Structure 1
Amino acid sequence: MEKIPSRNEVDDRYKWRLDLIFASNADFEEELKAVKAEAGVLSGYKDRLGEKEALLGYLKDYETYGRRLEKLYSYAHMKSDEDTTNGEQQVLLAKVSEYYSELMALTSWFVPEILALPDEKLNEYLTDPDLELYRFHIESIAKDKPHVLSKEREELLASLGDSLSAPEKIYNMFSNADLTFGNVTDSEGNEHQLTEEKYRNFIQSKDRVLRRNSFLELFTTYGKYKNTLAQTLTASMKVFNIDSKLRKYTSPVERALSPNNIPEAVFHNSIGTINEGLKELHRYVDIKKKLLGLDEIHMYDLYVPVIDIPEKKISFEEGVAMSLEGLKPLGEEYLSIFREGIVGGWIDIYENKGKRSGAYSSGCFDTLPYILLNYHDDLRDVSTLVHEMGHSIHSYYSRKTQPYIYAGYTIFVAEVASTTNEKLLIHHQIETETDEKRKLYLINQELEQIRTTVFRQLMFAEFEKITHESLIGGTPLTGDDLNRIWLDLNRRYFGEGIVLDKEIESEWSRIPHFYSDFYVYQYATGYAAASAFCDMILEGREGAVEKYLGFLKAGGSGYPVDVLASAGVDMTSKAPLEATVKRFAELLDMLEEVVS
């Protein structure tokens, strides 16, 4: 069995350079102490924002201490993730996290005080040359003024916050701590313990008996609690709908999209467009049935790969070379930054004892755009590398180009750069692969990305739309009602070619995202935006790469839909999602060649 090395056994050239943030823990401690002693100055601006000089002073000081605190937090959380068993690093993380909360509380008065200013004063600030840098920042806060309640009502809602979030907390506690499943057997009669985590593996197993038994056990168990879970979910929806009504939004969709100024048309067009493309999803089900050699295809057959390929070892150096080849269409400037990240101390590459699992991109305005990996020499790890590098190069560009206040970007666009990288890589792999089996495997991988990230997430979004509208219209929803809505959606999305196992009707009850209202559609829109960028770049359209890099450099300097539109991707139109469905159809054509 392969031995996992301890942290000090890993060669330094495979580790990120956190010493570039702080040379030692002692330096970290000294800086944290200094920030704590100095940041109190921020409270001195309270009740003075009607004075331009006070507003300017606050914004500048907030940047100073915000940047210093972000460096502290970045260092502490990444050092902690290097080895989660290191008690010293856990203490440092706890210290900075605790102070981070203190500083947020210390500055929590700022937005309410801005919103309490008279309209005349806000308009004066928005046109003042001395405040030009902060114009968009102030505007993005001020636009919500019509939806802010009286001071007394806001305080009342804030005091009820813990109670109003109870449905989500109850659901999380039930699903993560209290809900258990029985054991399931495979085709050879072996028993396996079933958990949510293990289900994700079992449902992809080539052993159809194990897939079916896992599916039946999981959803039958959830189904037993349909009435309780219907109450927690509808209670959560009602809280959101009441909040939307109190704040004078025209709909809960507007309430969810308003903070980032996203037009409701983006949400509704997404659902409409994907419904127009459902025939392609039906075709996928039919082709998968043939490739798997099944007389009938069930819901529990959807996740199994259509083909197995021998695991091919790909060293990190080989993975980097593959990545650079796949990303060539982005141009030499982008590739040079990618190479800089590889040799410049951005990445913590290999697993070690105690290291946090998974992968992420991190860092802040004044650090490198760091990446945590756990590279294990397989094709998935190459995809993870380009994904996380997409995030980090997005951050690199935005931090280099934008001032601190606009260097961050919203969740609506956060996955676009990472997905663009992944799509360029897999497109290159499919186009250049000569082994038919491996090519088929890659085609199926991209099809599954689109099925799960676009079709599936927009089915979730349509479920939210139907259920919220029912509750607003005064129609209560029981567990049976939610089951019926979910079953009808699955029937429409997957078509007549699949055996619609009744147990799938309770799937809605295991989706935690439904407790974050109208959030999931962004997975699909992010993928669609990436598809649109890939099409423009691969087709060699004039200025496509420059526009894409312009999007990366824009950061949070504008509302996300406007930033994308400036780069040539109009998310208020159907075009980006239509491009995604078109790519799905092209991949299906390739699969059909194999079937025939």
Structure 2
Amino acid sequence: MTDASHLPNRNDVPEELTWDLTKIFKDDAAWEAAFKDVQGELPKLEQLKGTLGNSSTTLLHGIKTILGVYRKLESVYVYASMKSDQDTNNSTYLALDSRASSLYAKVAAATSFFDPEVLAIDEKQLAHFIANEPDLAQYKHYLEQITRQRAHVLPAEQEKLLAGAQDVFSASQDTFNVLTNSDMEYPFVENEDGEMVRLSNGLYSILLESTDRELRQGAFEAMYQTYGQFKNTLATTLSGEIKRHNFMAQVHHYQDAKEAALSANNIPHVVYDNLIKAVNEHLPLLHRYVKLRKKILGVEKLHTWDMYAPLTGEPKISYTYDEARVEAKKALAPLGPDYLEHVDEIFNNRYIDVVENKGKRSGAYSGGGYDTPPYELLNWQDNINNLYTLVHETGHSMHSWYTRHNQEYVYGAYPIFVAEIASTTNENILTEYLLKTQTDPEVRAFILNYYLDGFKGTIFRQTQFAEFEQWIHEQDAAGQPLTSEVMSDFYGKLNQRYYGEALTKDPQIADEWARIPHFYYNYYVYQYSTGFAAATTLADGVTKGKEGAQEAYINYLKSGSSMDPIDTMKQAGVDMTETAYLDQAFSIFEERLNELEQLIDHK
């Protein structure tokens, strides 16, 4: 863990290692002017209400006006949030961030009439509008995304009634968040320095990766002892949320909650079903990896608290930030000169906020908006993990760059279903590059395990979550009560089926469902698995020089939200309604697992 007392103040960080937000607004005064400009648009938005269905002209005017306001608002919001992120102790920018969020809420409220009014336009009349107004043509897909829900939208008064009950419907998730983030009091545990400190979710993740097995066990048992005291309450909150999902799906005339959730991005249910089926067919590979983990750690019994322990130690290679930029470009060379040219732009124009400082937001992300550079926030440390982070976030940034330079604002963002594919493809390309250039067995072992552990934690683990999520929705729909005993019994057996006999059956892990916030997100987690598998397949095609793979990949980056995500990926060469991309990903996992097993055997 970084010692905060040794971190520099924000003002002491060298300018070249900070992002240049003057590319958004020259100064805070310019931001204030833009803020007031958006505020001044609110009355214009109100005036649009009730006009969209009058004619093709009024519909076009409404769309362009609303999108224009959101475009200006986006820059206002991005500047304020990123200024706040660079130093969360700065009250000036905390205030700007709060004001921007409040303004966003006001704009959303002022435009809430838009979807219902579009849906109120007769289907034939809307087609007539589009046919007779050439400038509406570019919004055809945008309008289709709204009108696709026509059969699932209730009469206006009923929708208004449901909307007014959102605070009631969100009570279960709100209670879970307050209980687990505020009211739960975790016990004290020993940390890496031998100090007794209060456990937290963040510290728990760190301690599970400790090389000290007793620390791992202590953290694990303390965490589940805490959750175990509240599991009946947490079963009630989760059950309430699942009932909400099922109720909303039923009243909106969906077959079930899964269909309702997947319909937002027009994802066929077969994508979800194929994922669970394919992962279950390949569970023997995960069992092999767990068995190998047990062998490398040299333990008589492999416990759940051993599943995140480092296997190979720190590798013999590390990178300064400057060295990492050079290495990243070498690794990403298979994506072509145009791609590298824009990577250069990101690396050399202060789009990246590099080092940690006091008050800076933790972690890493790629951000920005349609009219801003694709900024990146890092908290740099000189190691190979941070090289992967740089390449990952640059994958997001390049996705944003290509989308924003090839799509109009209306399609200038990309849906979550495809968002992680670009970043994870970059990671996979880096892995392939390192395996081609690093010959030291210990370094290769680290790289191989880095990939296998990521695969395990994403494709296998998130699909396990997806399978549990589907089961609890089905149980509730069938009228079966979701008690803590019922959920723990199913989850414990599911966990053992996934990880196999090499993993000891620790009773506490049966209660893991109680601490996973994603189960409140309504069929969300499967996208991590499908995205990782698609990225593995795409990276394999690019690095092996498969004909058309590079061009197809760049076209995917350019597509934004101009088509349904399934069609976007088909054009990139990955049909996610079939299982071939999953089979290819498992093939690569097995190939790298074979090599790691051989390296361990020859030690």
The 3-state SS of whatever aligns with 2:264 is: helix
SS in 2 for 1:499: coil
* 5+ long unaligned stretches in structure 1: none
Matched to 1:444, the amino acid is N
Q: CA deviation at 1:390?
A: 0.7
The answer for the alignment partner of 2:593 in structure 1 is: 588
**Correspondence for 1:555:** 560
Partner of 1:295: 300
> Which amino acid is the alignment partner of residue 72 of structure 1?
V
* C-alpha distance in structure 1 between counterparts of 2:392 and 2:600, whole Å: 31
Task: Return the match for 2:512 from 504, 507, 510.
Answer: 507
CA separation in 1, counterparts of 2:575 and 2:130? 27
Deviation at 1:470, TM superposition (A): 1.1
Match of 1:95 in 2: 99
Q: Tell me what 1:64 maps to.
A: 68
Q: C-alpha displacement at 1:31, in angstroms?
A: 2.1
Distance (Å, rounded) in 2 between the aligned partners of 1:124 and 1:395: 34
Q: Aligned in 2, Cα 1:31/1:532: closer, same or farther, shift over 3 Å?
A: same
**TM-score under structure 2 length normalisation:** 0.96
TM (norm. structure 1) is 0.97
Report how far residue 312 of structure 1 moved: 5.0
Distance in 1 of aligned mates of 2:194 and 2:115:
61
Deviation at 1:172, TM superposition (A): 0.8
Counterpart Cα distance in 1 of 2:569 and 2:82: 31
Name whichever of 475-484 and 218-227 sits farther off: 218-227
Task: Give me the whole-angstrom Cα distance separating, in 2, the residues matched to 1:497 and 1:361.
Answer: 39
Q: Which moved more, 1:534-543 or 1:479-488?
A: 534-543
Q: Residue 304 in 1 paired to residue 309 in 2? A: yes
Q: In 1, are the aligned partners of 2:566 and 2:575 still within 8 Å (CA)?
A: yes
Kept in 1: contact 2:42–2:110 (CA 8 A): no
Structure 1 pair 456/552, CA: closer, same or farther in 2 (3 Å)? Answer: same
2:38 alignment partner, one of 35, 58, 78: 35
Q: Which residue does 2:25 correspond to in 1?
A: 22
C-alpha distance after superposition, 1:217-243 (max 9, x if no partner)? 222322232222111111110111011
The 10-residue stretch of structure 1 (236-245 or 66-75) with the greater mean CA deviation from structure 2: 66-75
Opposite residue 91 of structure 1, the aligned amino acid is A
What's the CA shift for 1:211?
A: 1.4
The whole-number CA distance in structure 2 between the counterparts of 1:385 and 1:279 is 33
1:418 and 2:423 correspond: yes
Cα 1:245–1:372 shift into 2, 3 Å? same
Q: Return 137-146 or 68-77, whichever deviates more.
A: 68-77
Return the alpha-carbon distance in structure 2 between the equivalents of residues 95 and 186 of structure 1: 39
Q: Distance in 2 between matches of 1:187 and 1:383?
A: 25
- After TM superposition, the structure 1 stretch with the greater mean CA deviation from structure 2, 313-322 or 88-97, is 88-97
Cα displacement string for residues 34-84 of structure 1 (whole angstroms, at most 9, x for unaligned residues): 232234222222111121111111112223222111111111111222222
Counterparts of residues 4-19 of structure 1 (less than 5 Å): 4-19=7-22
1:55, 1:464 → 2: CA distance? 40
User: What does 1:134-213 correspond to in 2, within 5 Å?
Assistant: 134-184=139-189, 191-213=196-218
Number of the residue aligned with 1:462: 467
Amino acid aligned to 1:113: E
Amino acid at match of 1:89: Y
Q: Give the residue type in structure 1 aligned to 2:452.
A: L
User: CA–CA distance in 1 between the matches of 2:458 and 2:524?
Assistant: 13
Any stretches of 5+ residues in structure 2 without a counterpart? Answer: none
Pair 385,244 (structure 1): closer, same or farther in 2 beyond 3 Å: same
- Counting only pairs closer than 5 Å after superposition, residues 514-525 of structure 1 correspond to structure 2 as 514-525=519-530
8 A contact 1:83–1:354 mirrored in 2: yes
Letter in 2 for 1:437: E
| Rounded Cα–Cα distance in structure 2 between residues aligned with 1:351 and 1:120 | 56
Q: 1:323 aligns with which of 328, 339, 343?
A: 328
Residue 127 to residue 531, structure 1, CA distance change in 2 (3 Å): farther
Whether 1:261 aligns to 2:266 is: yes
**Structure 1 residue aligned with 2:489:** 484
Distance 1:184 1:84 in 2: 28
Check if 1:120 corresponds to 2:121: no
The whole-number CA distance in structure 2 between the counterparts of 1:167 and 1:148 is 24
Asked if 2 retains the 8 angstrom alpha-carbon contact of 1:234 and 1:477, the reply is yes
Shift, 1:119, TM fit: 2.3
Among 53, 78, 81, which residue is 2:57 paired with?
Answer: 53
Q: 1:313 to 1:287 in 2, by over 3 A?
A: closer
Contact 2:376 2:397 in 1 (8 A): yes
**2: CA distance between counterparts of 1:364 and 1:245?**
36
1:328 positional shift: 1.3
Shift in Å, 1:556: 0.5
1:126–1:138: 8 Å Cα contact kept in structure 2?
no
Give the drift of 1:590. Answer: 1.0
User: Post-superposition shift, 1:443?
Assistant: 1.1
The 5-angstrom pairing of residues 237-248 of structure 1 reads 237-248=242-253
CA displacement at 1:122 relative to structure 2: 2.3
Is the contact between residue 296 and residue 499 of structure 1 (CA under 8 Å) also seen in structure 2?
A: yes
RMSD over aligned Cα, in angstroms? 1.7
Q: Conserved in 2, the CA contact under 8 Å of 1:316 and 1:377?
A: yes
CA distance in 2, matches of 1:454, 1:31: 43
Give the aligned residue type for 1:361: S
| 1-structure distance, mates of 2:536, 2:557 | 15
Q: Deviations along 1:304-362, whole A, 9 cap, x unmatched?
A: 11121267542111000111111111111111110111112211112222222221111
Match of 1:408 among 390, 409, 413: 413
> How does 1:489-500 map onto structure 2 within 5 Å?
489-500=494-505
Which residue among 254, 273, 279 is the counterpart of 1:274? Answer: 279
Q: Which deviates the most, 425-434 or 529-538? A: 425-434
Per the TM alignment, residue 180 of structure 1 is displaced from its structure 2 partner at its CA by 2.2
CA distance in 2, matches of 1:96, 1:343: 29
Q: Using a 3 Å threshold, how does the CA distance of structure 1 residues 238 and 380 change in structure 2: closer, same or farther?
A: same
Counterpart residue type for residue 101 of structure 1: A
Shift of 1:9: 2.1
Amino acid at match of 1:287: L
CA spacing shift, 1:185–1:47, aligned 2, 3 Å:
closer
Q: Distance in 2 between matches of 1:325 and 1:225?
A: 51
Structure 2 SS opposite 1:364: coil
Give the secondary-structure state (helix, strand or coil) at the position aligned to 1:216.
helix
